[in-house]
Amino acid sequence: MKIIDNIGEIRSLADNVRKRGLLIGFVPTMGALHDGHISLVRAAKKQCGFVVVSVFVNPAQFGPNEDFNSYPRTLENDCKICRAAGVDAVFTPAARQMYPQEQMIWVEPEGLSDCLCGRSRPGHFRGVATVCAKLFNIIQPDIAFFGQKDAQQALIIRRMVDDLNMPLKIEVCPTIRENDGLAMSSRNRYLTAEQRKFAPLLYAALQECELLIAQGIRDAAFLIEQMKAMIEQCPLFAVEYIEIVDAGTLKKADNISGKVLVALAARLGQARLIDNIILDIEKM
Ligand code: AMP
């Protein structure tokens, strides 16, 4: 497995791979890898002859009061995990490689970004879209793999690729969870043992919502109230949002129908946790 921190080198490696006729699968990450990330690697290996994982904590997607400085950086272990998973190359550029001069041109999502996580993280999806565009241009993968856990991000990146005619496919893979339902996340490391005990309440609330919908309830406000009450049983949580929106447009509706995204974000101690499920209401 190659470990590369330089844009020129990863470009020429990818060029050579392409010349050998192999499809390039790409998994962008911020490191502190866990089984969620590795599920994306597995999906990539199924479809592609060469798999690149990037490990880059992208400063452009963090707000001034967010956790850029404290974000876990575990490169040595990440490389071990990647090697064991059969990754072919890890691209791990320094910030000055990716942003050698003041960035003047950005990819600015206009739709899809002013709701859910975008509301409390202004500029976040501009940072995400821009770094993904840069990484796609550097590596030129055939398929890039993203997790459903970051549903809004996956939707925005899909749309960026469509709207800007980028020549790659985006695959979105299911959320991988701990045994008790907590969605795996690099930020789970911030949880104390006490907080960790309550963290599965987020997914439990989503499951409760699914159950109520299966029983015929379609009133979004009522469903949201039920989820909020369930999470706030534990005073350690500060709920940021709980929303039920159209899974394609992220628009809210009073009475839910079609394919919906039930998404939430909450703070638990130092960690800002997000989770979601997608439900096809007509099939329930
Ligand atoms: P991150 O390192 O958190 O930026 O995540 C990198 C990629 O891994 C993104 O596409 C995430 O959606 C995906 N990912 C993170 N956690 C999970 C999970 N629990 N299950 C599936 N994919 C995940």
pLDDT in tens, 24-54: 999 999 999 999 999 999 999 999 999 999 9
Give, in degrees to the nearest 5, the angle at Cα 192 between 186 and 194: 130
The continuous run of DSSP H or E covering 275 comes out as strand 271-280
Q: In the predicted model, what is the mean pLDDT of residues 126-144?
A: 98
Q: Residue 187, Cβ neighbours under 10 Å: how many?
A: 18
Which residue, judged by its Cα, is nearest atom 5 of ligand 1?
A: 29
Q: Which atom of ligand 1 is nearest to the CA of 183?
A: 19
Pocket test for ligand 1, best of 91, 149, 176, 274 (most atoms within 8 A of CB): 149
Q: What is the whole-number distance in angstroms between the Cα of residue 27 and the centre of ligand 1?
A: 9
CA–CA distance, 169 with 266 (Å, rounded to integer): 31
Residues 6 or more apart whose CB falls under 8 angstroms from that of 139 comprise: 10, 11, 14, 24, 26, 52, 54, 91
Residue 8: is it exposed, middle or buried by C-beta count within 10 angstroms (0-12/13-18/19+)? exposed
Residue-wise pLDDT for 159-197, tens only, equals 999 999 999 999 999 999 999 999 999 999 999 999 999
Q: Residue 222, Cβ neighbours under 10 Å: how many?
A: 11
Helix, strand, or coil (residue 194) = helix
Distance of CA 194 to the CA centre of its chain: 26
276 lines ligand 1 (CB under 6 A): no
Average pLDDT, rounded, for the chain: 98
The answer to whether the beta carbons of residues 225 and 212 sit under 8 Å apart is no
Q: What is the whole-number distance in angstroms between the Cα of residue 227 and the centre of ligand 1?
A: 24
51 lines ligand 1 (CB under 6 A): no
Helix, strand, or coil (residue 262) = strand
127 lines ligand 1 (CB under 6 A): no
Residue-wise pLDDT for 81-97, tens only, equals 999 999 999 999 999 99
CA–CA distance, 122 with 102 (Å, rounded to integer): 19
Alpha helices in 48-186 (DSSP H): 75-85, 95-98, 117-120, 124-139, 151-163
Confidence of residue 253 (pLDDT cuts 50, 70, 90): confident
170 lines ligand 1 (CB under 6 A): no
Q: Residue 95, Cβ neighbours under 10 Å: how many?
A: 13
Active site positions, annotated: 37
Q: What is the whole-number distance in angstroms between the Cα of residue 215 and the centre of ligand 1?
A: 31
Q: Which domains does the chain have, with CATH numbers?
A: 2-173 (3.40.50.620), 186-277 (3.30.1300.10)
Q: Give the type of residue at 112.
A: L
176 lines ligand 1 (CB under 6 A): yes
Distance of CA 156 to the CA centre of its chain: 11
78 lines ligand 1 (CB under 6 A): no
Q: What is the whole-number distance in angstroms between the Cα of residue 174 and the centre of ligand 1?
A: 10
CA-closest candidate to residue 191, choices 263, 243, 119, 266: 266
Which residue, judged by its Cα, is nearest atom 8 of ligand 1?
A: 37
Q: How much is the pLDDT for 11?
A: 98
Q: In the predicted model, what is the mean pLDDT of residues 198-215?
A: 98
Whole-model pTM: value is 0.98
